[in-house]
Structure 1
Amino acid sequence: MSLSNSAGSDEESRGTGDGPRSTGEDARSTAENAPSIDDKILDAAAELVAVLGKRVQLAEIARRAGVSRPTVYRRWPDVRAVVGSLLTREIMRTVERTPRTGDDLAGLVEWIVDVAVQLRDHPVLGGLLADGDLLTEYVVQRLGTSQRTLLSLLRDAVEAGQRGGTVRPGEPMQLASMVLLITQSTVQSHRMVAELLPEPAWRSELALALNGYLRP
């Protein structure tokens, strides 16, 4: 009996039992799960870009994030850099939560279309798509970090398909670049042809275009 009580006391004192955690543990857990200052700033930028587009100002981002303007400037030189980091974060998060279902051509095309739909409907990227000038500045005129990362992922996927014989021969990065162009332009222009290409057709036609380009 005494051994059981002693073990229970030891377990509670170590904080490994089923009882409530100590205040110190709660504080550590809260600190670990709390967003970083960078994420707070990017979250604020996301909320503002979705509503204001290119009219967003750095002072507004700082105010929404609950930080000072110097705090933002220590991390990014201007609004353009903040939005660039925001795009990279959101695109990478979208890709990370959309795993490929297989290394063959079917799995590759399904993955690309799924990612394209999520990016097309993303609340932040959707705001950029509605603002042609801003989209051109951040996506069309330069090859940013997010696009380079996407190209790397696409190249790896193309190589996997080539090894399995379901993707045609060719220099993998060149094939990946064209896949990115096809998909990116389809996402950017979807509103223009929305009446002609309703949702099911949009998906199927993009899949057909990718299959036609990559099939051996």
Structure 2
Amino acid sequence: MQTVTLSLFRFDSLAARLWAFGMMGAARFALPRVPGLMFWKLCGSGTGEGFTPRPNWHVYAVLCVWPDADTARDRIADAGLFRRYRARASEDWTVFLTPTSVRGHWSGVTPFSAQTPPETGLLAAMTRATVKPKHALKFWARVPDISTVIGDDPNVMFKIGIGEVPLLHQVTFSIWPDARSMEEFARTPDGPHAQAIQSVRTGNWFNEELYARFRVTGERGTWGGVSPLAQSQGHI
């Protein structure tokens, strides 16, 4: 069963941050050589919780798609590239995911193969968009309102904004305890998220977009000194 991993790395020292920034280019040559890796993306992050266009030079992400869970866990643990990232990072966390639904494209392909397990237990949502340059300012004007609402939602367990190219490529990722709480946030009438989606649709802001949901199946490491999934252990 296809497994998706999102690995986050925090770099505190100046030397480590410079190394991580350089790997945004260098890792593009190493990742294609990792056995079993089907799709990958290197991303930076925004300041705060990541939902801003201002880069956070401390946090970087690697998104990967693997043919099955065993391959994912083995490569994250043992592949040289991931060992090098962990050796320089002050903290790292990887979440393991099984796709349950996907709509849209990323770099011209649909990277996730949706499985059909019931959407029970912890769920994750990912949105990815390529923003048309002429609409970038309008898009980012909407983001702070959405970020505030996500931050105030008592149900969201984890959230981060990442991206491949500042301003023009945006990925949002969040983890929720169940489908009901996720859908309540996304579909609240007249809420910032619903209003932003309506603006995107009517204004044709994006060149490309993707929406995906996942079952959360495991994790490795910590973030902020804790397991982001600790409050719901036993539900994954």
Higher relative strand content = 2
* TM-score bracket relative to the smaller structure: under 0.3
Higher relative helix content = 1
Q: Radius of gyration: which is bigger?
A: 1
**TM-score (norm. length: structure 1):** 0.27
